[in-house]
Amino acid sequence: MARIEFLNVDLDLESKHDLTPLIEDFSENVSIMHHEQGEINKASFELGSIADTPNQLILEYGNLVENLPKQSRALWDSCSKRVLDLGFECEGQVTGAPISLTEILSIESTKLLSRLNIIIAITIYVSP
């Protein structure tokens, strides 16, 4: 029998502008998983917090963004890509009938995502 469980939420950003000031303002609260500079600048983050549901981490990211200094908030607003990737792990035998997952985002989380122009992605990691 397979089991699906929530792992974490990653934040992925892309911008034509240098993301370094934003990274510096986030650095005390997140782990920087990836930072790439070039024609399109990219950065990926992960919160150090552990949560049972994505809602808790979505709200934590929102709090970080809404409390950014003015210059970094302008940089956030100029990003061409702002994605929160909800990560889940599926363990066990996955044969026969499809496995399903239902994850409900709160109204508070949904409003925050809209207000900050964030897209949601869902990644399911399958391990034997």
Q: Please determine, for residue 96, whether its predicted confidence score (pLDDT) is greater than 80.
A: no
Q: What pLDDT band is residue 123 in, cutting at 50, 70 and 90? A: very high
Q: What pLDDT band is residue 98 in, cutting at 50, 70 and 90? A: low
Strand ranges in 1-128 using DSSP code E only, listed in sequence order: 3-15, 30-36, 41-47, 81-91, 119-127
Residue 33: the pLDDT is: 95
Quickly count: other Cβ atoms within 10 Å of residue 126's Cβ: 13
User: What is the CATH class of 3-127?
Assistant: alpha beta
Helices 107-115 and 54-66: crossing angle, nearest 10°?
40
Nearest to 33 by CA among 18, 43, 22, 23: 43
41-50, 59-68, 84-93, 94-103: least confident range: 94-103
Residue 95: the pLDDT is: 64
Tokens of 4: 């699906």
